[in-house]
Amino acid sequence: MTRNSRAPLTAAAVSLVLLAAACGSDAPVDAEPAAAASAPASTTPTTAAAPTAAATSAAPDSYKLGEKVLTTDGYVRATVLAYKQPVATGAPRPEEQAGFEWGAAQIQVCAASATPVGVSSGPWKLVYADGDQLEPSSVTYVHFPQPEYPFSETTLKQGRCVKGWITFPVPAKRKPQYVEYHPEGTPLPLDWRVP
C-alpha cells in the first residue's frame, strides 16, 4: 500500500517543481538545468566551440604555381614555377609508350634550416586526375629545357637555392593535374596545380 501511495505524491512534486520553474518562481530548482538554459544567451565563444590552431592553420590541399611552401620537416622551401608541354620536340620521343612526348616543370628549392639538405629530382612526380603518377625522365638530351634541375643529389646549405627544369615522359594528349613533391621523411606530399 505504501508503494502505491508514494507514486502519486512523487509525480505531483515533480509537476510542481516544473510548474514553478516555468512560471519564474523563486522556488528552488536544480542548478544545472538553470545554467544550461542560460548558456545560449551568452555571446562569448566557449573553448569547445573555438577553432583549434590545427584547424585554422591547416595547409591547403594544393598550391598555385609560384607559391613557396615550407616542407613539414622545415628543411626546405619549395615551389613549382611553371609547367610546359610539349618540350624538347627535337629530342627522341620517350620510349615508355606510343603517344608520349616530353613535359617539364620548372622547380626551385631553397634550404631553410641550418642543417645542410640534399635535393634531387627523385622526390618530384606528375600526378594525373585518374591517379596516374609519372616519374622524372631517367635520360637527358641537349634538347631538354635548361638549366636542368639536379638529377643526382646536390647538397644545399642554409639560404642557398637551386632552380631548374625536370623533364618527364608524358601522354601527348593529357596534362597532369599536379606537380608533386614528397621528400623523404615528410608525412604528406606537397602539390602544385597545373593550370
Q: Pick the residue with more confidence: 19 or 106? A: 106
The string of pLDDT tens digits covering residues 12-68 is: 333 433 334 444 444 443 443 333 333 333 333 333 333 333 333 566 899 999 999
Same domain? For 175 and 100 the reply is yes
Residues spanned by the domain of 69: 63-193
Q: ∠ CA 191-193-195 to the nearest 5 degrees?
A: 165
**CA-based nearest residue to 150, from 105, 123, 107, 120:** 120
Q: Which of 30, 54, 78 is the last residue of a domain?
A: 54
Same domain? For 76 and 44 the reply is no
Residue 2 has pLDDT above 60, yes or no: no
Strand order in the sheet with 161-171: 69-70, 76-87, 100-111, 161-171
Same domain? For 27 and 111 the reply is no
